[in-house]
Structure 1
Amino acid sequence: MVYLLYYPLVFSPPTSPQITTHIPGNDFVMCEQIDSSHRERQPHPFHQLKCSRSIRNRAAVVYHLTCATLHIEVPQDVLFSASLSYALHISRMSAKCPTLGQLRSVSNETDIVAVEMLILEFVRPHVVLIEGCLRLELKRLVVHRPLPLKIRECVGRVAIALSDTLYAYHYCLFPEAAARACLLNACERLGIDVDSAILPDEFRTPQVAEIRAFFSDA
């Protein structure tokens, strides 16, 4: 476990992501807390990658979770590279993303490997994508608000598109609540009337309301 000596390590519960990672000299800020005075929609750097949505989003969740649970003092490019490397290795596509090679040419390879090992050890069990929860939550929704198959498919596609915008923020760390909010907002945008009073309580939590408000204000 030599790699633990590289950085001071502090643990915090994964359910309370509060940290903002910003390293002067870099061009991006991620894992921002959103309040009523700052709900601007911003792209995160993983969106610039030429790879599949699942890889981009998995890398973003890993990045946010690492910021929130492992308070390690590392350059942001190292954390970015380690998160991307993990997502690519999980998908067995590390050779198909030239961005990783470009990043490794300017970052400390040893640091990247050390952080990726920490991710494998402590972060991996908590990685869940929003789109991985959408199918189940859509099934729960249509039990109480039946929808024709074609309309259901439209709701799912719009919800996936909405979910993609959440990966720049800490909202992606609450995949089930995010999935419910995406589905409700998808219905709203498609003009589908859904009475929240008839839905399960999980569709009316403060987290769901906050994410829905984010979509409305963005």
Structure 2
Amino acid sequence: MKFIFNLKFMDKEVIKEYYDYTLPFYRFFYHKESNAVHYGFWDKSVKNHTEALLNVNKFLAEAVGVKSGDVILDAGCGIGGSAIWLAKNYDTKVVGITISEKQLEEAKNLSLKNKVDLATNFYKKDFLNSGFDNESFSVVWAIESVCHAEDKKDFLKEAYRLLKNGERLVVDDGFLLRQPKDKHEEKDLSAFLEGMALSNLAVESEFKKSLEEVGFKNIKI
């Protein structure tokens, strides 16, 4: 299968096909404890990538103050790694959404295997237009998924709509510190974006500004 990418606009169908097609390759790197492939969070306590993957869940859960009774949306849940971890480690309900049918099937199977199927639900939905009711969640959780949104502000607007008043958004993703300054940097960035089925990466300062414009408060980066 050959993918034709338009870096000015990465159609969600292309993103879906990318994850459907690459799932067997990603699966090769999955570890049964993490059920995910991310960069992870590395600190002095971490000895390997699997530990880093679990550590990012722990770090984000503590950072956003996940607590018993939370109803969490995992926006761009992949095969359900974070959702399953949250359900196993906290007394929470977790809803995971993905646009990939194959990821959806895998997430449902893994939730059964990990005996958290009563605490998790997975759906094929677009995190830019989820269809859930206003103020349905106490936490919106997004790990390396917002990068796939053409306009990151569209994701933030939907997350804000879905969150109960005063509740929490946590995002772990890749950002630029600045735009490329020459053609060489543009070429390197374009190669990275194409390989990961991304149309762009947000500049950190612009993302923070978008958070403020949408209405988020107490922003920590």
Structure holding more strand per residue: 2
Q: Point out which structure has higher relative CO (alpha carbons under 8 A, 6+ apart).
A: 1
TM-score with structure 1 setting the length: 0.30
TM-score with structure 2 setting the length: 0.30
| Largest Rg, 1 or 2 | 1
